[in-house]
Structure 1
C-alpha cells in the first residue's frame, strides 16, 4: 500500500504501551514489573496485533496490493476481488505441435499414442509426455505427421524441434518419431500480474455493445491468449475478425483459436449464440507469423573470450524480446532496422558489427507488419 492510514500508524506494542502508561495518574508506580505495567502489557500486545490485522485487511481489499510479484504465487484475495467484476484467473494450457512417425508403410498409429522427450539424469529433468490427438496412417514412404498435445499443462511442454523421440506407447511397424518443429502455446496458470492487468483493463476501459474493447476482453478471458487484434468489417459489413497470439507472442495454437471461437461466436451465423451480439459474424484466426531472419558479421571483444554460439544466443534473446514488445502494436507497425542494430550494440562482448542483413537485405529498411500479422524471430546467422 502507498500510505498506511493515520489511525494505523505508530501502532507498535511499545508505542501503544507508552501511550497507555502516560494516562496513568502520576502518583501510581508504572515501572516495569509493577502491577499497572504487568496489567497493560498484554493489552498493548493485542492492540498492536489488531493494528497489523487491520493493515493486512486493507492490503487484501485492493487489487493492486493483493497481487503478488512472485510468478509462482497465486493470490486468493485477488481472485475474489476480480470475481466481483466477472474476471476469473485463466487456467494452464497444454502445449501442442506435430510429430512425424517413421516406419512400415500403411502402419496405423492410433489416436492417444504417447510419445515423449528423454529424461535428463544429470539435471534431474523429467521426461515430458505427449499424446496424439488423432490417428495417422504412414504413407508409401513410411512417414506420417500428426498433431500431439502435452499430457500435462504448462510452459514446460514447449520444447524445441527434434527433442521428442521416445515412443512411450509401442506401435508395431513404427521405428522412430520426432518433432520437426517446436511445440508451442503451453502456458502456466495465469500470474497475479497478468490477472491484475486484465482487471484494470476491465474496470478502466469498459467494453460495451460489441465494440473493439469488448472483443479484446472476451478473447483475453480464454486461457493461453497473449494478444488480440480486432479487424472490423473484415469481409464487409457484419463481419469481424479476431487474430490471436499465445503467451509467447506467437501465432496461437488451434486449441486456443477454437476455444476463443466457441466462446465468442460458436455458430458463426450471426444468431448471437456466444458472447458476440446478434448480427456480426466473428471469425477467430491465429496471427500470421512473419519471420525475421538475421545475418551479421561481428567483431568480438578480446578481454572477455566468447564463442559465436554465445553471441548468437544473446542476439536471439535481445531481438526476441524486442519482437514480443511490438507484437500487435499498431501505433508503430514496423520492425525497425535501427532497433535490431541497437540490440547488437547493447551486447557487451560485441565490439562492432558489419553486413547486418534482415530477411536477406542489407539495406537499412524497416519491415512493415500488416494487420493480422506478428513478427517472430526466424534464423540467426553469426560469422566473423
Structure 2
C-alpha cells in the first residue's frame, strides 16, 4: 500500500499521550504517575488502538492489499471487493481418473464403488478415497476400467499411477484394483492471488462483444480452469474453439470441459443460450498434451552422496516447472533445448552432463508447441 494518509500517521500511544499532555496548562503536574497523566494514558492507548483499526480497515478496502500471500488463507474482504465486479472465488474441484479392476470374468462393479489409496502410518499420510462414476463388467480376461472421482475435492486427490490399491466397498469377485494413470485436475479452493489476478484481468482488460478477452474471462469463471487459449475461426466463419488447461497446466479433465461448455455455449447451435453471443458456435476442448521425454548422461558430485533416482526427480521437477511457465505462451511457443540444459546445470549435485536428448533428438533443436497444445513432462532417463 502507498504511504498512510496523514491523519493515520504518528498515532502511537506515546505520541498521542504527548500531544494530549501538551494541552494541559503548564502549572499542573503532568509527570508520569500524576493524576492528569494517569487519566489520559488509557485514553491515549484506546485512540492508538483505533488508529490501528483504521489502518487495517483501509488495508482491507483495496483488492491488492486485502489479498493474502498465504495459500492457506482466504480473505473475506477480497471476496466482497471482487463480487462488486461479478467475480466470485472458484470452489475446490475433485480429482478424476480411472481404475482397473481385476477379478472373476463377468463380475459387475456398480456405480458408487469406493476405492482408496492406503494410509501410511509411518509418515502419517492419510488415505485418499475415490468413488466410481460408471458401472463396469469384467471382460473375459477378468479386467475392466472404470472412471473415478475423488470423494473430497482438492489437490490432494491428484495421486501418481498405481497407488490406488484398496477396495473400500466389498465387491465379490474382485481380487485387486489399481490406477494405471495418475489422477488429475483436482484443485483447491481458489487462492487470494489467483482471485486477485482474475480481478485485475476483468477490470484492466475489459471483455466486450465476445472478443478473446471475454471468452477467457468466461472460461476462468469455472473452477479448475488453469489456462485458456482462444482459437477464432476454428472451423471457418462462425466457429470458435477454447482449449483448456487445469491448474497443474495439464489438459483439463472431461468434467471441467463439460462445465465450461455448459457455461458458455450449452446448445452449440448459435442461438446464444449461454454466455456466448448469438451467432458463433463455441466448442470447448482439452489441450492436446505433447510429452517431452528426456534422456541424459550425468556426472555426479563426489562431495555429496546422491542416487540416480534422486537426480531423476530433481530433473523432472525442474523441467516440469519450466513447462508450466510456458504453457499456452503464444509469444514464445517453443520448448527450448537451452532452457532444459539450464535446469540440469542448476542442480548442485550434477557436475556435468552429456548426451542430452529431447524426444529422442540430440541435435539441440527446440520443439515447437502448436495451437491448442501444451508441453508436459514425459519420461526422464538418467545414466552415468
Q: TM-score, normalised by structure 2?
A: 0.99
Q: Distance in 1 between matches of 2:298 and 2:213?
A: 45
Q: CA deviation at 1:158?
A: 0.5
> How far apart are the structure 1 equivalents of 2:34 and 2:151?
68
CA shift at 1:266, angstroms?
A: 0.6
Name the CA distance, whole Å, in 2 between partners of 1:160 and 1:318: 18
Task: Give a deviation string over 1:111-143, Cα, whole Å, max 9, x none.
Answer: 111111111111121111111101011111111
Q: Which residue of 2 aligns with 1:10?
A: 10
**In structure 1, C-alpha distance between the alignment counterparts of 2:59 and 2:79, rounded to whole Å:** 14
In the alignment, what sits opposite 2:223?
Answer: 223
Give how far 1:272 is off.
0.7
Deviations 1:222-276 (A, max 9, x none): 0000000000000011100000000000000001111110111111111111111
For residue 41 of structure 1, report the CA deviation from its aligned partner: 1.4
The 2-side partners of 1:41 and 1:108 are apart by: 78
Match of 1:363 in 2: 363
Q: CA deviation at 1:35?
A: 2.2
Inter-partner Cα distance in structure 2 for 1:275 and 1:309: 49
Residue aligning to 1:174:
174
Match of 2:314 in 1: 314
In the aligned structure 2, how far is the partner of 1:169 from the partner of 1:360? 44
CA distance in 2, matches of 1:129, 1:41: 59
Residues 1:110 and 2:117 are matched in the alignment: no
Moved over 3 A (4+): none
Q: Pick which of 36-45 and 51-60 moved more.
A: 36-45
Aligned partner of 1:34 in structure 2 is 34
What runs of 5+ residues in structure 2 fail to find an aligned partner? none
Query: What does 1:326-345 align with in structure 2 at a 5 Å threshold?
Result: 326-345=326-345
Q: CA deviation at 1:33?
A: 2.1
Q: Within 5 A, what are the aligned runs for 1:277-296?
A: 277-296=277-296
TM-score (norm 1): 0.99
Aligned to 1:209: 209
CA–CA separation in structure 1 for the residues paired with 2:358 and 2:280 = 40
- Aligned to 1:303, the other structure's residue is in SS state coil
Equivalent-residue separation in structure 2 for 1:115 and 1:245 (angstroms): 27
Partner Cα separation in structure 2 for residue 310 and residue 175 of structure 1: 34
Q: Provide the C-alpha distance between the structure 2 equivalents of 1:289 and 1:16, rounded to a whole number of angstroms.
A: 63
RMSD, matched Cα:
0.8
